[in-house]
Structure 1
Amino acid sequence: MSGFYCPVEPAINPHVGVTEARAVEWLDRVGLGADPRLREEVVRLNVAEFFARAAPEADDEPMQVAVRWACWAHLFLRERGGDEDFMTTAGEVQRALEVPWHAVAEDRFALALQDIALAMHGCATGQQARRFADAHRAWLFTAAWQASLDSMGLAPSLDDHVMMRLNAASGAPTAALLEIAVGEEVPAHEADSPPVRALGEMAVLVTGWDTDLHTGCGVVEVLAEQGRTTVERATEQARAMRDRVLTRFLDLREQVLIGPVSEALRGYLGSLGHAIRGNIDWALGAPRFVGFTEAPAVPGQRGREWADSPADADPSPLPIAAIAWWWDDM
């Protein structure tokens, strides 16, 4: 089985241990660690390592915001994701995030999210906080979309899977948190430009598909079911698709960075590359990918080697309508 192709050098924030310890203390302080089993689960995931790898030069305060939210998000979906009134709860926590100065619901998840939001406003610009809130709303919407499909026993098409994957698994909020962690606000004319938006989406999809490759879920399941093929063959197909997107990401990022761009954008685009590499390195030791949860390990994945070249470097667009525009001339 082929290894992961990712020509980005590994890096890690030297304060990762302190960041993790402070996040665990916060978890207990705000009452999110009440269930011992779920507390152990989120602590063992050590999401601080992922953000330390994605933002190796970030200061501790924005790192705290990122890590605390990741812990919050994991526990929120584990405890509330299957509720019949999930949309009501989602609306409450989203409003809590957007107006953190007054309690909008006497709910521990809403109050904990407000605590995170207040800390965010202390280390981020108003525009950065707004970008995160917008990404958070999309994440909640996608969680509801997935729950709706599950309740009807429906499997997503490949196009639907891709559209959901762009906002599921906290990808979009994580990208917004990385901008905050890097520091400077990316100017709107750069952040909202088609190539920068495409690069952000590509990084989110690659990390999401890497998670699927680690576990044998997600895109692997979709391809196996639609193609009526084995998990092994679906895995190789998913890897080729993933490498094709990563190749486009690296090429487009290089094109963007050749031009006159802000240092804030350079830092943000650098963090996207670190996030792709860091997600792989983090997953190598995260319990989530080695049997701590129910997700099955893909045969042969443990002990894999890195690939020196992409499994598919075809420069033409993938035949997936939702993302074909990434290959447009920008």
Structure 2
Amino acid sequence: MSSAIYCPLPSALNPNGAEAQAASLGWARRHELLPTEALYTRLEKIQLGTLGARFFPDASADALRIATDWLVLFFLTDDLSERPEVHPIDTALLLGRQVNVLRGTEPSQRDVPMGSAFEDLRLRMTSMFSEAWFARFADKVADLFAGFAWEAINRKNRFVPHADLYLEARKTTIGLSPLIELADADRARPAGTAARMRPDVARLEGQACSLVGMANDLFTYARELDEGDYHNLVLVLMREKKIGAAQAEELVVGMHNERMRQWFQLAERLRHDDPDEGTRRFVTALGHLLRGHLDWAYENGRYQVSPTLPPKVAVAREEGSSG
């Protein structure tokens, strides 16, 4: 049996998750984001309200609803970018127009219904958060959508990136960066720009993106192998090292766990010793994103967790002991 995915961070849950889930489903229906009732049922099964509640356990009810609505758009655009019948140039143009709407351009008729949802999100975000914060959020969404387009072009050309290139790109395509901005927005003492540019804090943020990307790839590689989509670290290593799925899975679990130990050591030092309260709270917020993704992935209906992975995430501080 494969080693456990190591995560020494505690679970947390916002009590407003169920309300956010219902509100976001209603929001998706009002904007007619999906063409069939079956797709709304599928969206409900993903439990994005629970994901938002695990990501943002301390967020206000209004901020949690905004975050959950963004998660709806994230998953829908991710799925759209992976549709083989859509040419990658068309994907890139569509996603680029949504970024423009997010930045203030009026949506056109060809962007209905998605454009109206992005416009609504922009209006609500700018009424709640600062202009400088929103500009950072929009920039992170633009980077994410550029990553989606890169993956779509690779699929069209049957190009499989090597591991180093994939790992660097995965920091963006996993989609954690916009969520990090949301985690740093709805707090009385957000981490300042200068604090987040410090090498140790920036390293912690980048490593968090890598860790969620690795864990996500472990949860999804069996499905992506069936679909012929090689944007997955397990599948990249299978091809690059000419090894089987179980061996590649074990390698990725080991990479994840070693990086998690490094992340946790640095995070604990900053949480306990850094003189800036905003920085300490930011580090805690990153931990909620890491742990929340793992908890949700084992619970939701989107991912089929590999049968060789353990049914529980290891939560002990020392590997080999049970949580």
TM range (shorter): 0.7 to 0.9
**1:139 paired to 2:144:** yes
| Preserved contact between residue 33 and residue 114 of structure 2 (Cα < 8 Å) | yes
The amino acid of 1:186's aligned partner reads A
CA distance in structure 1 between the partners assigned to 2:315 and 2:57 by the alignment: 24
Q: Match of 2:248? A: 234
| Secondary structure in structure 2 of the residue aligned to 1:244 | helix
| Secondary structure in structure 1 of the residue aligned to 2:243 | coil
**1:154 paired to 2:159:** yes
Flag the 1:183–1:137 CA change in 2: closer, same or farther, 3 A. Answer: farther
Of residues 91, 96, 109, the one that matches 2:96 is 91
Q: Match of 1:76? A: 77
CA distance in structure 1 between the partners assigned to 2:313 and 2:176 by the alignment: 25
Flag the 1:129–1:184 CA change in 2: closer, same or farther, 3 A. Answer: farther
The amino acid of 2:301's aligned partner reads P
Q: Match of 1:277? A: 291
| Preserved contact between residue 270 and residue 283 of structure 2 (Cα < 8 Å) | no
Deviations 1:90-119 (A, max 9, x none): 2211111111xx514232212211111111
Q: Match of 1:14? A: 15
Of residues 126, 130, 133, the one that matches 2:135 is 130
Counterpart mapping for 1:173-252 below 5 A: 173-182=178-187, 184-216=189-221, 218-252=232-266
| Preserved contact between residue 11 and residue 292 of structure 2 (Cα < 8 Å) | yes
Give ranges in structure 2 of 5+ residues lacking alignment: 225-231
Q: CA deviation at 1:183?
A: 5.0
Give ranges in structure 1 of 5+ residues lacking alignment: 291-296, 312-330
| Preserved contact between residue 58 and residue 183 of structure 1 (Cα < 8 Å) | no
| Preserved contact between residue 135 and residue 172 of structure 1 (Cα < 8 Å) | yes
**1:306 paired to 2:318:** no
Flag the 1:114–1:299 CA change in 2: closer, same or farther, 3 A. Answer: same
Q: Percent identity?
A: 22
The amino acid of 2:307's aligned partner reads P
Flag the 1:233–1:36 CA change in 2: closer, same or farther, 3 A. Answer: same
Of residues 266, 270, 277, the one that matches 2:280 is 266
Q: Match of 1:319? A: none
| Preserved contact between residue 11 and residue 274 of structure 1 (Cα < 8 Å) | yes
| Preserved contact between residue 182 and residue 271 of structure 1 (Cα < 8 Å) | no
Q: CA deviation at 1:28?
A: 0.8
Deviations 1:35-62 (A, max 9, x none): 3233222221112212211221110111
RMSD: 1.9
Q: CA deviation at 1:265?
A: 2.4
The amino acid of 1:73's aligned partner reads F
| Preserved contact between residue 240 and residue 310 of structure 1 (Cα < 8 Å) | no
| Preserved contact between residue 271 and residue 281 of structure 2 (Cα < 8 Å) | no
TM value normalised by structure 1: 0.86
Q: Match of 2:228? A: none
TM value normalised by structure 2: 0.87
CA distance in structure 1 between the partners assigned to 2:35 and 2:125 by the alignment: 24
Return structure 1 stretches of 4+ with deviation > 6 angstroms: none
Deviations 1:122-174 (A, max 9, x none): 22122221221111111011111111111111111101111221011322112
Q: Match of 1:314? A: none
**1:103 paired to 2:106:** yes
| Secondary structure in structure 2 of the residue aligned to 1:4 | coil
The amino acid of 1:57's aligned partner reads D
CA distance in structure 2 between the partners assigned to 1:23 and 1:74 by the alignment: 13
